[in-house]
Structure 1
Amino acid sequence: MEATWIKEMFGTEKPILAMCHLRALPGDPAYDVERGMEYVVDCARKDLHALQDGGVDGVIFSNEFSLPYMSNVEPITVAAMTRVISEVRKEITVPYGMNVISSAMLSLDMAVALEASFIRAPITGAYVSPAGAGNLNAGEIARHKMAIGGKDIRILSYVVPEGCDYPAQRSLGDLARIAEFRAQMDVICVAGMVAGNPPDTQDVTIVKSAVKKTPVFVNTGCNINTICDQLDASDGAVVATTFKYDGIFENLVDVNRVRAFMDVVKKYRAERSLA
């Protein structure tokens, strides 16, 4: 990994970035009208503090419970996300990023408005997903980032997004090489099919071997028993489901699970003389 910005931003090599999954928002099928937005804010605050108290290196805010996901995100989703994150922003003590699912443009807009350091979003390729066909233009996204004053915002993106497939018959290594050269994302994330489902470690190794200088993160499915092997194959990880009570996607974050996981990571770093 040649990128020095990772250590500068997160204070360590091979960082663990935790997902702060926002509950269903207004307009989402699962939105709890009776509990309202205060419930969404309260859950986000609890998860944020559990993740930070547990020792993660960064946090990504995502509209994870906006199921089923939209290919064209509605304005109410962005408005609601902005409200939630604005209410907890002064309590954030680690670098944080934005993930408006399916939209790099909106993720960048939120990152600029909320002074986030990075985003996670697909930015390149034509693919098929449960939300329909996607056709992304990395050039437009890069120019939008510059136009809105987001020059320093880092982009974590994918070769193949979660639950998606490329119609083009190209190898994973070829896709990674093309993405690095043409899309120029700051981190390539390698994902499994869905949240909590790990990618094949061999896939991570293929991507890592294919790119010249772009860091590679494991994007899904990390747990306390596999994280050391996953970090051996990568430059960092995005972690979510395993941090939740009983390791169940729908639950809130359990600070004890976070601490136990991060203790393993800290030992791993110490044994390898990583900062």
Structure 2
Amino acid sequence: MTAPNPFVSDLFDADRPVIGMVHLPALPGAPGFDGDREAIRTRALEDARRLEAGGIDGIILENFGDTPFYPEDVPKHVVAEMTAIATPLVDAVDVPVGINVLRNDAAAALSVAA
């Protein structure tokens, strides 16, 4: 058995944390966006609360519905929308929340997380 990872033990209350995903539907600017930003925010909060109630140790918020994904950096409006969703979500749960902006735009994810 390997030694516990100090990063994991500092961040989570579990040696082997279970991370739940909140997959957002298409956001503004994506072809599948249905025009209802409030419904997206409500669904994200409900999903996060259900995951937490189910016992997960952390959450990752991701713009999974934004297909086709932008080939390079995502536009600023995606960062703004994900930030508007992430801020109340982080306040609504008592587990760590991570951000992934597809297709792996680390700078955008750090912007949302900040």
Both structures adopt the same fold (TM-score exceeding 0.5): yes
Paired with 2:29 and 2:38, the residues of 1 have a C-alpha distance of 15
Q: What is the 5 A alignment of 1:137-156?
A: none
**How far off its partner does 1:88 sit?**
2.5
Paired with 1:10 and 1:21, the residues of 2 have a C-alpha distance of 21
**How far off its partner does 1:24 sit?**
1.0
Equivalent residue, structure 2, for 1:94 = 95
- List 4+ stretches of structure 1 deviating above 6 A: none
Paired with 1:62 and 1:99, the residues of 2 have a C-alpha distance of 5
Structure 1: gaps spanning 5 or more residues = 114-275
Mapped pair 1:75 → 2:76:
yes
Paired residues, number: 110
Structure 2: gaps spanning 5 or more residues = none
Q: CA RMSD in A?
A: 1.2
**How far off its partner does 1:110 sit?**
1.8
Identity of aligned residues (%): 33
Which structure: larger Rg? Answer: 1
**Which has the bigger relative contact order, CA under 8 A and spacing at least 6?**
2
Paired with 1:71 and 1:18, the residues of 2 have a C-alpha distance of 26
Contact 1:23 1:43 in 2 (8 A): no
Contact 2:18 2:58 in 1 (8 A): yes
Q: Deviations over 1:214-236 (max 9, x none)?
A: xxxxxxxxxxxxxxxxxxxxxxx
Equivalent residue, structure 1, for 2:6 = 4
Paired with 2:89 and 2:95, the residues of 1 have a C-alpha distance of 12
Give SS of 1:59's match.
strand
Q: Which amino acid in the other structure matches residue 45 of structure 1? A: L
Q: Which TM-score applies when normalising by structure 2?
A: 0.89
Paired with 1:14 and 1:88, the residues of 2 have a C-alpha distance of 23
